[in-house]
Amino acid sequence: AQTVTQSQPEMSVQEAETVTLSCTYDTSENNYYLFWYKQPPSRQMILVIRQEAYKQQNATENRFSVNFQKAAKSFSLKISDSQLGDTAMYFCAFSRGSGAGSYQLTFGKGTKLSVIP
């Protein structure tokens, strides 16, 4: 079974600064995907960024980037130029890429990020 661990229950960052959220995972799979989802207060969950395990290059999406360390099973999210709208719960998630249960998401417990004006 896969596990996803987010060790930072809460974090805060000043507006316009950079923050990094941590995530580690455990799996014996070779073909898998990693995700960061954002869940704003009272709003629905949306995908922030996705990383395919077979790709060595770290994924980037505008102000969001990841540091994917496959050997260490680490997948951190960096948010640059933080904005007030980035305030949300952030969930790290894992899915298998093939076989039984593929594409099902296993989530961490989340990190509550507050962006301070």
Partner 1 sequence: EAGVAQSPRYKIIEKRQSVAFWCNPISGHATLYWYQQILGQGPKLLIQFQNNGVVDDSQLPKDRFSAERLKGVDSTLKIQPAKLEDSAVYLCASSLVTNEQFFGPGTRLTVL
Q: How far is the CB of 96 from partner 1 (least distance, A)?
A: 9
The closest alpha carbon to 78, from 14, 3, 17, 4, belongs to 17
The closest alpha carbon to 92, from 40, 51, 31, 59, belongs to 51
Q: How far apart are CA 106 and CA 42, in angstroms?
A: 21
Q: How far is the CB of 36 from partner 1 (least distance, A)?
A: 12
Tell me whether residue 14 or residue 31 sits nearer to partner 1 (CB atom): 31
Tell me whether residue 37 or residue 68 sits nearer to partner 1 (CB atom): 37
Q: How far is the CB of 16 from partner 1 (least distance, A)?
A: 29
Tell me whether residue 49 or residue 115 sits nearer to partner 1 (CB atom): 49
The closest alpha carbon to 36, from 102, 89, 99, 104, belongs to 89
| Binding footprint of partner 1 on the chain (CB under 8 A) | 4, 33, 37, 43-47, 50, 91, 93, 95, 97, 100-110
Strand partners, 78: 20, 65
